């Protein structure tokens, strides 16, 4: 059955914009008084509502909107860690009291604390907690999210996490893309060197991840408290040889990871708060998407990723929430992207591109991220007649309506 939705005061399609570099708002395609025909989960036609409605047939459904709404593509949060158990409020109190994140990690808090709690949670407990967060994402207008493992750090617990992520994807309307982050840190109870841990993952875990079709994406945290550039180099080479696509938690506190990401053709290099002009130039001259995580900067009270410089140099910039129990507990992509945009002087087009089609590219999803014929009918509508109002309210104007694959969610 076909369905026509509209009229929207404006549809900002995000169509026809380049993947890389700066974007200016006058280049946005804005359809005034627009409508969208949907059939079998896809957009089949988009244009002025009055013209589209002329093609109406007797059994077509018309979802007529009263009032002002601006439509955007559903947001894509391409970096989250929403599969976890427990809270790290204790870490947060220490951090705002002045203890650095890496020092808390050295004292046994940080990621290891979440690993301990996530291991203790059984499958159903983790499923319920992850499912609640996934539902919140969708209600916030995020129609696709990436979710990492990385709080299990044994073969069994990493598989448990990836299976939870798959089950939430299957049971809920939001699409979740799982990523294996078994190389988050070397677990404190692993008997062996860091390199032996990575070898263990490569031999014992990744073949199972592949066999069971749990993920085709491998991530690693390259940082002082996690894995060195040399260890990362070894791991990424092997993971690529096994046929995985790779990505890196890079340059969060010290530069290094992004060079590796570019060297190994990573789909994305994420964080980049500590990237210097050298790393910015490398990323700009590569096909690796630079992923800013403003939620981690806000959560840790550190500088934002140099987004303005990255875009001016010609990089592709995506923006994600990094929702996790430690460094980024807020998990509110729209608010974070709006705040990042204000600090980094991003145009509306650059900010929204970062949470739509540029984020889709980081997940290698070519079927979403813009509103155009042939794409998934994942869309959100804000209660205004002027798209500029959306980021102006810095996250407080929420999507009033959300459709996932054409289905009205709320």
**Contact footprint for Fe ion (CB under 5 A):** 322
**Applying CB under 6 A, does 324 fall inside the site for ligand NIG?**
yes
Q: Which of 80, 114, 259, 321 binds ligand NIG (CB under 6 A)?
A: 114
**Interaction with ligand NIG in 218-247: which residues (CB under 6 A)?**
221
Site membership for ligand NIG, residue 326 (CB under 6 A): yes
Q: How far is the CB of 240 from ligand NIG (least distance, A)?
A: 21
Tell me the closest approach of the beta carbon of residue 226 to Fe ion, in angstroms: 11
Contact code string over 167-206 relative to ligand NIG, x by CB under 6 A: ----------------------------------------
Residue 181: phi, psi to the nearest 5?
Answer: -115, 45
- Nearest to Fe ion of 71, 269 (CB atom): 269
- Residues of span 50-89 touching ligand NIG by CB under 6 A: 81
Dist CA 141 CA 20 (whole Å): 24
Between 13 and 149, CB nearer to ligand NIG = 149
Interacting stretch for ligand NIG, rule CB under 6 A, among 54-62, 107-115, 159-167, 233-241? 107-115
DSSP-derived letter for residue 231 is H
252 near ligand NIG, rule: CB under 6 A = yes
Residue 20 interacts with ligand NIG (CB under 6 A): yes or no: no
Q: Which stretch binds ligand NIG (CB under 6 A): 11-19, 139-147, 320-328, 377-385?
A: 320-328
- Spell out the residues 6+ positions from residue 264 whose beta carbon is closer than 8 angstroms to its own: 233, 236, 237, 240, 246
Q: Would you say 72 or 291 has its CB closer to ligand NIG?
A: 291
- Which of 35, 73, 325, 331 touches ligand NIG by CB under 6 A? 325
d(CA 346, CA 81): 26
The token duo for 116 is 């301990």
What is the Cβ-side half-sphere exposure of residue 192, based on CA atoms within 13 angstroms?
A: 10
Quote the tokens at residue 68: 């002002």
Stretch that binds ligand NIG, among 7-15, 108-116, 136-144, 381-389 (CB under 6 A): 108-116
Which listed residue (231, 322, 332, 378) binds ligand NIG by CB under 6 A? Answer: 322
* Minimal distance, residue 323 CB to Fe ion, in Å: 9
Our CB check for Fe ion shows the closer of 37 and 221 to be: 221
Angle CA(172)–CA(161)–CA(79) in degrees, nearest 5?
70
Alpha carbons 202 and 242: distance in angstroms, whole number: 9
Work out what residue 225 binds among Fe ion, ligand NIG, none; the CB cut-off runs from 5 to 8 Å by kind: none
Minimum distance of ligand NIG from residue 382's CB (angstroms): 28
CB 360 within 8 A of CB 39: no
Work out whether 209 is an interface residue with ligand NIG (CB under 6 A): no
370 lies in the site for ligand NIG, by CB under 6 A: no
Contacts of range 223-227, beta carbons closer than 8 Å, 24 or more positions apart:
223/249, 223/252, 223/253, 223/254, 223/256, 223/257, 224/102, 224/253, 224/254, 225/102, 225/105, 225/106, 225/110, 225/185, 226/183, 226/184, 226/185, 226/186, 227/183, 227/185, 227/186, 227/194, 227/198
Residue whose CB is less far from ligand NIG, 219 or 344:
219
**Choices 19-27, 325-333, 334-342, 348-356 (CB under 6 A): range interacting with ligand NIG:** 325-333
Q: HSE-up of 272 (CA within 13 Å, CB side)?
A: 38
Q: Which of residues 11, 43, 104, 111 is near ligand NIG by CB under 6 A? A: 111
Give which of Fe ion, ligand NIG, none residue 326 binds (C-beta under 5 to 8 Å, depending on kind). Answer: ligand NIG
Q: Which is nearer to ligand NIG, 43 or 363 (CB)?
A: 363
Q: What is the Cα–Cα distance from 47 to 62, expressed in whole angstroms?
A: 15
Residue 94 beta carbon to ligand NIG: minimum distance, rounded to whole angstroms: 13
For the CA atoms of 16, 20, 21, 26, the dihedral, rounded to the nearest 10 degrees, stands at: 10
Contacts of 348 (CB under 8 A, 6+ apart): 25, 28, 341, 387, 388, 390, 391
Residue 35 burial by CB count (10 A; 0-12/13-18/19+): exposed, middle or buried? buried
Calpha distance 134→175 (Å, rounded) = 9
> Based on CB atoms, which residue is closest to ligand NIG, 324 or 347?
324
Classified as helix, coil or strand, 7 is strand
Residues forming the site for ligand NIG (CB under 6 A):
81, 110-111, 114, 221, 249, 252, 296, 322, 324-328
């Amino acid at each position: 059955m076909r369905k026509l939705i509209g009229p929207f005061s404006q549809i900002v399609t995000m169509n026809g914009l380049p993947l890389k570099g700066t974007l200016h708002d006058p280049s946005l395609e804005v359809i005034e008084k627009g409508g969208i025909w949907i059939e079998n989960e896809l957009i089949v036609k988009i244009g002025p509502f009055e013209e589209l409605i002329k093609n109406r047939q007797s059994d077509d459904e018309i979802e007529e909107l009263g009032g002002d709404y601006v439509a955007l593509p559903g947001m894509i949060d391409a970096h989250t860690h929403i599969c976890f158990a427990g809270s790290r409020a204790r870490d947060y109190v220490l951090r705002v009291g002045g203890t650095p994140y890496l020092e808390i990690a050295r004292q046994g808090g940080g990621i290891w604390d979440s690993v301990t709690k996530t291991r203790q949670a059984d499958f159903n407990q983790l499923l319920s907690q992850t499912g609640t967060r996934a539902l919140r994402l969708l209600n916030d207008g995020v129609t696709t999210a990436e979710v990492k493992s990385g709080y299990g750090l044994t073969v069994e617990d990493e598989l448990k996490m990836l299976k939870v992520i798959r089950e939430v994807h299957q049971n809920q309307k939001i699409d979740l893309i799982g990523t294996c982050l078994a190389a988050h840190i070397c677990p404190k109870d692993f008997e062996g060197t860091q390199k032996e841990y990575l070898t263990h993952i490569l031999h014992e875990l990744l073949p199972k991840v592949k066999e069971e079709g749990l993920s085709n994406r491998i991530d690693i945290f390259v940082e002082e408290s996690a894995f060195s550039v040399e260890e990362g180099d070894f791991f990424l080479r092997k993971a690529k040889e096994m046929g995985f696509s790779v990505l890196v938690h890079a340059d969060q506190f010290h530069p290094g990871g992004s060079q590796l990401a570019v060297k190994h053709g990573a789909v994305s290099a994420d964080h980049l708060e500590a990237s210097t002009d050298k790393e910015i130039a490398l990323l700009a001259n590569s096909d690796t998407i630079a992923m800013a995580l403003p939620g981690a900067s806000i959560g840790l009270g550190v500088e934002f990723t140099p987004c303005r410089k990255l875009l001016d140099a010609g990089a592709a910039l995506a923006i994600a929430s990094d929702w996790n129990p430690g460094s980024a507990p807020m998990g509110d992509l729209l608010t974070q992207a709006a705040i990042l945009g204000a600090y980094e002087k991003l145009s509306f087009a650059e900010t929204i591109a970062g949470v739509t089609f540029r984020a889709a590219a980081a997940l290698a999803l070519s079927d979403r991220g813009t509103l155009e014929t042939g794409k998934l009918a994942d869309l959100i509508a804000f209660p205004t007649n002027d798209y500029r109002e959306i980021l102006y309210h810095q996250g407080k104007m929420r999507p009033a309506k959300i459709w996932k694959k054409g289905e009205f969610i709320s």
